Amino acid sequence: MKNKSIQFEHLGAMDYKEAWDYQEKLFKGIVDQKIQNRKNEQNGEEQVSTPNYLLFVEHPHVYTLGKSGDRNHLLVNDEQLKEKEATYYEINRGGDITYHGPGQIVGYPIFDLDNFFTDIGKYLRFLEEAVIITLQEYGIESGRIDGLTGVWLDHIEQKNPRKICAIGVKTSRWVTMHGFAFNVNTQLDYFKNIVPCGITDKDVTSMQTELGRALDMKEVEEKLKGHILNLFEGTLV
């Protein structure tokens, strides 16, 4: 049975490790239910529909390295991290190193894709599309670059391509965790301490940088959340 209802929760400003632990708890709950459902099916017992969660959060300054990333892409040492009031974690998502911090919308969809579609590529494209449509509402043209995950500006001519949203996910048994980091009013100087996503020849940007003004975070979040729900044909609970 497919359950397209999505439970939304805004975690506010939360330490990265605390949010990661919370993700893991929700993720494990869904996976465990799927395992139990398989046993129930074999025993002729009733199955229980699995939930889906969408978490928005804003982290203090933190650098995270995906399992396929290179530690050398962090360009500062432990002492410099302390000076910048930043932390560092090696985590279990795909991708290389990225930055999270104030002024950035970090989204963690913890979806059972069996409730929607079992296609990781389509899942990633839908996350990108939600950001692309949100940016269009503010007059910012964006899109994709072949072979690179995320959302980019100047993605066609690529004279000065710059990333505005990074994506890195983990999936198991078609259950997702981790997600995207969308630069709204982000302090871009913090990206100078890393090789973002391991890409050396492209820049990063934010909505604030592109528009020359700070954005209302709640307004952007509401638009983005709406587009995610529409693309996945989900209902909010």
Q: How far apart are CA 79 and CA 111, in angstroms?
A: 38
CA atoms within 13 A on the CB side of 48: 11
Query: Of 55, 65, 130, 197, which one is the catalytic site residue?
Result: 197
User: Which helix (H) or strand (E) element contains residue 99?
Assistant: strand 97-100
* 105 burial type by CB count under 10 A (0-12 exposed, 13-18 middle, 19+ buried): buried
Residue with tokens 């509401």: 222
Give the CA-trace dihedral at 80, 82, 84, 88, to 10 degrees. Answer: 90
Sheet containing 97-100: which strands, arranged edge to edge?
87-90, 62-65, 97-100
* 226 burial type by CB count under 10 A (0-12 exposed, 13-18 middle, 19+ buried): middle
Contact between 93 and 108 (Cβ < 8 Å): no
Decide if 165 is catalytic. Answer: no
Describe the crossing of helices 120-136 and 217-231 by its angle, rounded to 10 degrees.
Answer: 140
Contact between 150 and 197 (Cβ < 8 Å): yes
Active-site residue set: 197
